[in-house]
Amino acid sequence: MQALFLAGGKGTRLYPLTYGIPKPMVPIMGCPLLEHNMNILKLYGIKDIILSVCYKSAYIKNYFGNGSAFGLNLKYVEEDSPLGTGGAIKNCERYLKDTFFIFNSDILSNINYYEMLNYHNKQKAAVTIAVTRVDNPSSYGVINFDKHGYATSFCEKPSADNITSHFINAGVYIFNAKVLQEIPAGKNVSIEKEIFPKLLAEGQKIAVYKGCNYWLDIGTLEKYVQANQDGFIGKLFLPNMNFRQQSIYSQPNTKISKSVILRGPVYIGENVQIQANTVIGPRVILGNNTVIGKGSNISDSILWNRIQVKNEIKIDRCIITDESIVKNASHNNIITPESTRPI
């Protein structure tokens, strides 16, 4: 079985986090989102993965390479300019065969992919779309469906007085390869707005799968913070990490002074140094190769990689991106190497 990740979007709603890195690579609990999602696929024996990349593609390629270090077989298909979700899928046609999964790369979900595939086969559908129920669907793609589990219509981002369903497109699909014939080549096409409605109009079967146990789209800052918080309360499914069972996770080669107080839940990445008389936690993520100076106090914050926090600095409710140097106390801010701004 193959999987295709759509990983080429600009991630503008997540600025400034995505100035330097593509959205699929933002860290969740110290590990890139895309890596978490690929680790989950490995649990299902899916190792042949195609990455459709565009915005900051080099970052993704440099990190994963050909995938062998991750136990995966990766292929990249690059766009010179964005082709949209449908155009990007069509662009990968040469690698896709039979039946395959497609994922948006900005979601965290807990879906039983075996069950979803069985459902797709049972429904004899051309496409199966995973759907999830949300209270307010107005910023999502809403799907209406019949009692047999087949889509009947789609509505992108409905206004409050036009909400006909609370089930939304979860950005996880199973496609039969013949559907690719329906997508024009070399054009910017939206799978959600153009191709799915076209398939319905032609009378093709689009099944909806309602088996999302957890689902979050990390497309906005608010949701990005929520994803990490959900990790701390064990709501988020992360292979190898469950904060309900353990409150401090520490990777190899850390140097933590004896006088440091760790108030879980706390995640500490590789090669992190925490100097004397520091208080870390609760709900703090320290990414790899980070140094926390003496007497500092960090709570409710997400620190990415290669960060220096100087001595005696208080940090609360901040997101700090790669290579930042923090010299001043900070509360409720996003700190990047270039600037600091409120969340």
Which spans of this chain sit near ligand GTP (rule: CB under 6 A)? 6-14, 23, 52, 54, 79, 82-85, 88, 104-106, 219
CB of residue 23 vs ligand GTP: minimum separation in angstroms? 5
Give the nearest distance from C-beta 329 to ligand GTP in angstroms.
Answer: 31
Minimum distance between the CB of residue 104 and ligand GTP, rounded to whole angstroms?
4
The answer for 232, left when phi > 0, alpha when psi is -120 to 50, beta otherwise, is alpha
Residue 104 or 301: the one with the smaller Cβ distance to ligand GTP is 104
Residue nearest to ligand GTP (CB): 9
Least Å distance between CB 73 and ligand GTP? 19
- Residue closer to ligand GTP by CB (options 10, 61) is 10
Judged by beta carbon, residue 255 or residue 341, the one nearer ligand GTP is 341
- Minimum distance from residue 262 beta carbon to ligand GTP (Å): 34
Q: Please, which residue, 76 or 243, has the CB nearer to ligand GTP?
A: 76
Least distance to ligand GTP, CB of residue 53, Å? 6
User: In angstroms, what CA-CA distances link 119 with 128, 149, 289, 315?
Assistant: 8, 10, 44, 48
Q: Which is nearer to ligand GTP, 172 or 292 (CB)?
A: 172
Identify which of 234, 280, 248 has the alpha carbon closest to the alpha carbon of residue 261: 280
- How far apart are alpha carbons 190 and 155 in whole angstroms? 13
Closer Cβ to ligand GTP, 104 or 204, answer by number? 104
Q: Residue 232: CA atoms inside 13 Å, Cβ hemisphere, count?
A: 19
Q: How far is the C-alpha of 190 from the C-alpha of 183, rounded, in Å? A: 9
Distance in Å, CB of 202 to ligand GTP, minimum:
24
Kindly report whether the peptide bond that precedes residue 22 is cis, defined as omega within 30 degrees of 0.
no
- In angstroms, the CA 179 to CA 252 distance is 46
9: Cβ contacts below 8 Å, ≥ 6 apart:
22, 23, 54, 55, 82, 105, 106
- Rounded Cα distance between 208 and 226, Å, is 26
C-beta closer to ligand GTP: residue 11 or 231: 11
Q: What is the DSSP string of 51-96?
A: EEE-TTHHHHHHHHTTSGGGT-EEEEEE-SS--HHHHHHHHTGGG-
